[in-house]
């Protein structure tokens, strides 16, 4: 019972944040003045540092919404966390966003444009990394505020990765995310 409560407690806020971010904020281009690239348009060796898809808006909205999601779930499930749920939601949301940057940086160095599906030799590798990099970031943050067992760590990584993959499929299918139809080779 405790593991299932932990899974809900730690997955719901990020799922809540991600869905609202894509279905409302990005889809309806809310707060467009924040839709500027996080890297400020800086280029490294002639290519964008992270790309246009990593925006200041995401780095502000996702942690904020994750905070709200964490407060909502903490009213239903009680766990022994050592920090206010509002702050835990913010920090895990920020960890989620920051952990996507190394993957974006590497893909830009390889000439893979943001938002495109990778094919060829790196298809499987980037397919997995795209689903779990952000979850690993949130998990790393979580370990500072909650006793994360190996069972919980692996469960969150696997469940989070599968949920992330399924949500991405739905977002592409219903045109809330662009780029899956195109591929980089």
Mind listing the pLDDT tens digit for each residue in 54-83? 999 999 999 999 999 999 999 999 999 999
> Does pLDDT of 92 surpass 90?
yes
Domain tally for the chain? 1
Of 98 and 118, the structure prediction assigns the larger pLDDT to 98
**Mean pLDDT of all residues in the chain?**
91
Mind listing the pLDDT tens digit for each residue in 75-91? 999 999 999 999 999 99
Q: Which domain holds residue 58?
A: 2-184
Q: 44 has which bridge partners? A: 47
Distance CA 87, CA 166 (A): 27
Two tokens, residue 169: 């499929």
Give Cα separations from 57 to 1, 11, 12, 61, 62 (angstroms): 37, 21, 21, 6, 8
Determine the pLDDT at residue 182.
45
Which phi and psi (to 5°) does residue 183 adopt?
-135, 155
Which phi and psi (to 5°) does residue 62 adopt?
-60, -50
Determine the pLDDT at residue 113.
80
Determine the pLDDT at residue 67.
98
**Contact between residue 104 and residue 50 where contact means Cβ atoms under 8 Å apart:** yes
Contacts 24+ apart (CB under 8 A), 83-92: 83/145, 88/142, 88/145, 88/146, 89/13, 89/63, 90/63, 90/64, 90/66, 91/63, 91/141, 91/144, 91/145, 92/10, 92/13, 92/14, 92/66, 92/138, 92/141, 92/142
Distance CA 102, CA 124 (A): 17
Please state the pTM of the whole predicted model: 0.90
Sign for the CA dihedral angle at 176, 182, 184, 185 comes to positive
Of 180 and 139, the structure prediction assigns the larger pLDDT to 139
């Amino acid at each position: 019972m405790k593991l299932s409560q932990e899974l809900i407690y730690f997955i719901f806020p990020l799922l809540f944040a991600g869905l609202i971010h894509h279905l409302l904020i990005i889809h309806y281009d809310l707060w467009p003045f924040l839709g500027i690239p996080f890297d400020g348009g800086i280029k490294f060796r002639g290519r964008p540092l992270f790309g246009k898809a990593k925006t200041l808006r995401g780095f502000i909205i996702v942690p904020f919404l994750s905070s709200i999601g964490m407060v909502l779930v903490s009213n239903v499930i009680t766990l022994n966390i050592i920090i206010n749920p509002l702050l835990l939601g913010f920090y895990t949301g920020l960890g989620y966003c920051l952990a996507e940057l190394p993957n974006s940086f590497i893909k830009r160095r390889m000439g893979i444009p943001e938002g495109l599906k990778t094919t060829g030799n790196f298809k499987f590798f980037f397919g997995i990394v795209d689903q779990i990099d952000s979850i690993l970031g949130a998990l790393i943050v979580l370990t500072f505020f909650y006793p994360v067992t190996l069972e919980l760590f692996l469960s969150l990584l696997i469940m989070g990765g599968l949920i992330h993959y399924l949500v991405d499929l739905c977002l592409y299918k219903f045109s809330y995310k662009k780029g899956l139809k195109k591929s980089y080779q």
